Amino acid sequence: MTFGSKTSSLLKRGAAAIVAVAALVSFAACGTTDSSDESSSSSSATGYDVSGVQKVDKIAAMLPSDIADSGKLTAGMELSYAPAEFYEADGKTPTGYDVNLAQALGKVLGLDTQIVSSTFDTIVASVGSKYDIGITAMTITKEREEAVNFVSYFNAGSMWVVRKGNPDKVDTSDLCGMKIAVQTGTVQEDEANTIKQQCSADGKADVEVLSYQQQTEAATNVVSGKADVFYADSPVGGYAIEQSDGALEELGDIQDSALEGIAIAKDDEQLAKAIQAAMQQLMDDGTYTKILEAWGVESGAVKTAELNPSVD
């Protein structure tokens, strides 16, 4: 699919949206390398204020001694994944429902939460070395469960997003010949590559998979016409549509609903059980639901925080 036939009026209609989405990219650019953001568990300028969440001594007592003694819970995140985790307008302050949940976990455990900015595809490998947990809207898969422990906490599907009116006539039942924008290391990237392979095997037009380090880049390139469609977790796709000033829309229904989880080092079962207990506490006392409601993603709520749930 080529883009030379696009009219100047179409480009003008999308210009404001490109600027809006590009602004999100510029804020998220701070998160492309590993760096620590001192995000106190007692404050969040937007979203949900966790300052009222109380320490639960019996759960805090479950922590490994080294983490308890440090007084900190370090959480790895890819901070371009709005509304799960991203930077506020100052380009420095992490926010989002994953950020608020990590802060609340810290409060239950009597720890100060420190957000560590990283790229998505490095988080699993870095859990246990660069940070204690990874909480970044990560789908639990069998392959990932071989590498880390997971505590489930959210349920999300996958969403296709196109420009308003679907000018490139994208059909999710036949994506051969399309340019699909995805984030590197995601389940959606894997699925897009599977589609690419199937089109090739069937002798159809090739699929071009455009992989980006940040989800906001994928959205921006669909708005600008460099990609035909982007594929993302449903909360992320929905937020991109909301922020696009009418330039983007959902294509088809949300599909392939799957559990997302908090990653903990495979050899640290003690921490995994403490995180599981702390998340279950937040679910039981209502804090979890309030955080999700603050971000408009309560439809993804689950009732139980499972340790290493069985997944397909």
The mean of the pLDDT values for the chain is: 87
| Cα three-residue angle 275-46-17, rounded to 5 degrees | 115
Residue 12 pLDDT more than 80? Answer: no
Lowest mean pLDDT: which of 34-38, 67-71, 243-247? 34-38
Query: How wide is the angle at C-alpha 105 spanned by C-alphas 103 and 109, nearest 5°?
Result: 115
- Model-level pTM? 0.74
For residue 97, pLDDT beyond 70: yes
Confidence of residue 255 (pLDDT cuts 50, 70, 90): confident
From the centroid of its chain, how far is CA 44? 18
In this prediction, residue 240 carries a pLDDT of 87
Which whole-number Å values give the CA distances from 87 to 39, 159, 173, 191, 239, in the listed order? 11, 23, 35, 28, 14
- pLDDT tens readout for residues 98-120: 999 999 999 999 999 999 999 99
Q: What pLDDT digit, counting tens, does each position of 128-173 carry?
A: 999 999 999 999 999 999 999 999 999 999 999 999 999 999 999 9
Which band of pLDDT confidence, cut at 50, 70 and 90, is reported for residue 46? low
Please give the domain boundaries of the chain with CATH numbers for all domains.
8-27+158-255 (3.40.190.10), 30-156+257-300 (3.40.190.10)
Q: What is the pLDDT of residues 178-195, one digit of tens each?
A: 999 999 989 999 999 999
